[in-house]
Amino acid sequence: MEDSKDVMWDWSGNNLRVKVLFSSAGLATQILVNNIEKDSNLLIDVGDGILRDLVTLPGKYYENIDIILITHGHFDHVGGLFSLLAFFRMINRSKKLLLISPSNVVELEGLVKTFFESYGDSIPFELELITIEKDFEIDDILISAFPVQHRGSIIGGKKLPDIPSVGYIINKNTERILYTGDTGYFEQLKEYAKDVDYALIEGTYKDKKTKFHLTHSEAEEIGKLAKHYQIIHQIMSR
Ligand SMILES: [Zn+2]
Ligand SMILES: [Zn+2]
């Protein structure tokens, strides 16, 4: 782990460690998860400014992003994806990249289609799109998606795959990290958060504004059920 001192991790476990590169509602959210043993990385959501965030890290972190998880298609979660894919093309990435999302994320489908149409056979890496229905296992990591309450038309806890907005639990050797994605409050969130090693909980508003986001106090209530937590996706006052 000779580079561990180069990155200020928000949380470090025995198997995984996490850095919230940036998170603010309506601007951008991007979270880096490092698989310590393999020294590979997973990125959750790709908002605007992703390249500026990544290049502050040692190159091995962004060169070894093998998996990108997308929670939903709002611009503050996918707006930087085209830049990131084009950057990977520019630096001549050769490793395969997995892009995992719930189904029916039309914004994402459009971005990826444009990338393929623009660069076609000059893309030096394989990009595989995977629609997650519940669990996805890769190497030694288990990724579980759960439906959340977001995007104005859905109710948390309903079954996938018809819901285009999810949270994720990432599990390695019983170590678990939770990210709620964008969501309003629903009871099952507490079950998901209970006893996870590290929870990233959205807490968009100070006071109740909508049933599709959490308040700080709701986020805190859920976060306290985890062993450690951080509230992210707060809205910037303007
Ligand atoms: Zn958002
Ligand atoms: Zn959203």
Give me the residue spans of the domains in the chain.
Answer: 4-232
Give residue 116 CA to ligand 1 midpoint distance, Å.
26
**Calpha distance 26→143 (Å, rounded):** 26
Considering the four listed CATH numbers 3.40.50.720, 3.60.15.10, 3.40.50.150, 3.20.20.70, the one that applies to the domain covering 4-232 is 3.60.15.10
Among the bound ligands, the one closest to the CA of 76: 1
Q: How far is CA 88 from CA 108, 147, 151, 178, 195, in A?
A: 17, 30, 30, 27, 36
Q: What sign for the dihedral angle of Cα 227, 27, 91, 72?
A: positive
CB 94 within 8 A of CB 124: yes
The terminus-to-terminus CA distance of the chain in angstroms comes to 41
Give residue 5 CA to ligand 1 midpoint distance, Å.
30
Among the bound ligands, the one closest to the CA of 47: 1
Give residue 47 CA to ligand 2 midpoint distance, Å.
11
Among the bound ligands, the one closest to the CA of 28: 1
Among the bound ligands, the one closest to the CA of 204: 1
Give residue 61 CA to ligand 1 midpoint distance, Å.
24
Give residue 63 CA to ligand 2 midpoint distance, Å.
27
Kindly state the tokens that stand for 117: 């149409």
| Ion ligand 1 neighbours, Cβ < 5 Å | 76, 182
Kindly state the tokens that stand for 57: 């890290």
Give residue 117 CA to ligand 1 midpoint distance, Å.
27
Q: What is the pLDDT along the chain (238 residues), one digit of tens a residue?
A: 445 558 999 999 999 999 999 999 999 999 999 999 999 999 999 999 999 999 999 999 999 999 999 999 999 999 999 999 999 999 999 999 999 999 888 889 999 999 999 999 999 999 999 999 889 999 899 999 999 998 754 545 555 444 589 999 999 999 999 999 999 999 999 999 999 999 999 999 998 778 889 999 999 999 999 999 999 999 987 6
